[in-house]
Structure 1
Amino acid sequence: MGYGSKDEICGTLVKYSMLVTNFIIFIGGIVLGIISLYTLFDKSFIKELLGTNLFTGAVYILISTGILLSLLSFLGCVGAAKEVKCMLLAYFIILFIIFVVMLVGGILCYVFRQRVETTMEQEMLRTIRSYGEDRVLTRAWDDLQEGLHCCGVTGYDDWRQHRIGGNIPDSCCREVNGKKQPCTLNFQASQQIYTSGCLNVTTTFMKQHANTVGTVGIAVSLFLLFGLALSCALFMLIV
């Protein structure tokens, strides 16, 4: 395989440009996978209170495509270096599919970012009623309140309004000198209770994660356009 004499310089330039592009795509795939994994497991207890699987689904999509990109970049490099047309064609088709899937994943993160506050508020109010009865939800609420130093949905009074019994969990209690202070007996003991509601803290946290993952996903997917264009150009130049 080779180039026509008139296309030799152009073909060499496209070939090396594709090698550089695939190296960048390889790095981008690794970065995307790492960021997505971190987002999935950082404060993972929050996903029990999201009220939607949209964000988790989008992150899984981006993790999968990030891994595939890292593997596919080797196919692109070999196809370009060896000038194998069938490999370049396979690379183009697979890369186009990944481009579409990754773009969808990035867009889903932004859609989730717009919907998270409404869906999370409804889900949090619903799950308060199951606190103490559902082990998973109970652990999620305790980890949320202790981890983000918040209490209830909009405030600690939510535990009295939406839960039978009216007692707030010990996870709402502040630590003084390394020890939890009792706060279930007095709802007005604000100096002993986390006064911030968990809704604002949690939605801000999730929006930041969704924005980061969505931005990286879309940025990498747009960069794949260079890989698609270069592989197509190199395919046409090889005679």
Structure 2
Amino acid sequence: MRLTNSGIEYDTAPTRFERLKMKCKELRWSDLKTTKFLISTTTTIFALTGLLLLILGIIVLGNYNEYYLFLGPYFFVVPRFVIVTAVFIFFTAVLGFYGAISEKYKIVLAYLALLVTILIFELSITILAFQLEEDAFGYINQQIQRDQFPFSDRSFLLAWDDLQREKRCCGIYGRGKYDIHPLPITCCYIPAGARSPFECTTDNAYYATCDSRLSHFMGKYAYIIGVVAATVTCLQVIIVAVVSWIAYRLKSKKKIPQHGFIMKDTLKIEPPNPSVIDYSRF
């Protein structure tokens, strides 16, 4: 604070933005190339990809669970694999941050080996997700045809009603080939103000089949998993390349004393031995 001739005080302390600007000016390019900074940055990006995969896997698994009776275990392999990979990423990121702090070659090498393993996982997720998108219609159609007749099971009837109501579909083969007459009321759109008795017939039933609607819904989520996994895989390739270069640098530093270079901490200065003169001969 200072007082001018007019008696007005001004605050001369730097603002937060000015302090940040001063720190950025003090940051040198050599600081950005340090082992600790590079490993910390790449590991942070790596952990964020794990968080993205975890959120995506939970969302997709939650949507798939709603239609478990019609999907079977095949559709749950990919989202569960995504979640397991995300958890594995978090544990690997802990090792990465420890390697950034310690800057030990063996720790970074172990971190690199786990990164390559996760890269294989992410590549597998990408392939499985796009394959799942292609097989969605055929597998769901086969699954629904196999399980369409146990109408005595109340849980199955409730699942069918929820599917037809939410996806606005009617049966497997459409409204014209439904085995029950009159049609279930969930096969029809009930307009506002409708009065009972309301009858669902082929004239006012939904036209779309449930297997096509469900396969489109599941195929969309499989496609999203494939795109996200492909993007994460590309980032993972860059991260593996950077960590490989860092491991090579640490290995080179470790071998420097063996090539004739003298390190300061390896020098040992010994005091000279004092010469003792025997005066008894004189």
Structure 1 and Structure 2 fold alike (TM over 0.5): yes
149-158 or 211-220, larger mean C-alpha shift: 149-158
Alignment of 1:224-239 (within 5 A): 224-238=236-250, 239=254
Runs of at least 4 residues of structure 1 off by over 4 A?
178-183
Question: 1:102 pairs with 122, 125, 128, which one?
Answer: 122
Judged with a 3 Å threshold, the aligned counterparts in structure 2 of structure 1 residues 121 and 178 are, in CA distance, closer, same or farther, namely farther
Partner of 1:201: 213
Query: Are 2:201 and 1:187 aligned?
Result: yes
TM-score computed with the length of structure 2 as normaliser: 0.69
Query: Are 2:90 and 1:70 aligned?
Result: yes
69-78 or 198-207, larger mean C-alpha shift: 69-78
Instruction: Give distance in 2, aligned partners of 1:22 and 1:214.
Output: 23
Question: 1:59 pairs with 58, 75, 79, which one?
Answer: 79
Partner of 2:10: none
Partner of 2:69: 48
Partner of 1:19: 40
Shift of 1:65: 0.6
Spell out, residue by residue over 1:141-198, the C-alpha distance to the aligned partner (whole angstroms, 9 max, x if none).
22211111111124123322xxxx5453333232232769666x6633x33x333221
Spell out, residue by residue over 1:11-70, the C-alpha distance to the aligned partner (whole angstroms, 9 max, x if none).
9355433322221111111111111111111253333213x5333101101111112213
Judged with a 3 Å threshold, the aligned counterparts in structure 2 of structure 1 residues 155 and 15 are, in CA distance, closer, same or farther, namely same
Instruction: Give distance in 2, aligned partners of 1:149 and 1:186.
Output: 13
Shift of 1:10: 10
Partner of 1:141: 160
The amino acid across from 2:149 in the alignment is R
Q: Is the 8 A contact 1:22 1:77 kept in 2?
A: yes
Partner of 1:152: 171
What stretches of structure 1 of length at least 5 have no aligned partner? 1-8
The amino acid across from 2:183 in the alignment is I
Question: 1:112 pairs with 113, 129, 132, which one?
Answer: 132
Partner of 1:177: 192
Query: Are 2:106 and 1:86 aligned?
Result: yes
Spell out, residue by residue over 1:127-149, the C-alpha distance to the aligned partner (whole angstroms, 9 max, x if none).
2222x234443333222111111
Q: Which has the higher contact order (CA 8 A, sep 6+)?
A: 1
The amino acid across from 1:121 in the alignment is N
Instruction: Give distance in 1, aligned partners of 2:101 and 2:91.
Output: 16
Task: Give the superposed CA RMSD.
Answer: 2.6
Q: Identity of counterpart residues, as a percentage?
A: 23
Judged with a 3 Å threshold, the aligned counterparts in structure 2 of structure 1 residues 179 and 21 are, in CA distance, closer, same or farther, namely farther
Q: Is the 8 A contact 1:145 1:198 kept in 2?
A: yes
**SS at structure 2 position matched to 1:147:** helix
Q: Is the 8 A contact 2:54 2:86 kept in 1?
A: yes
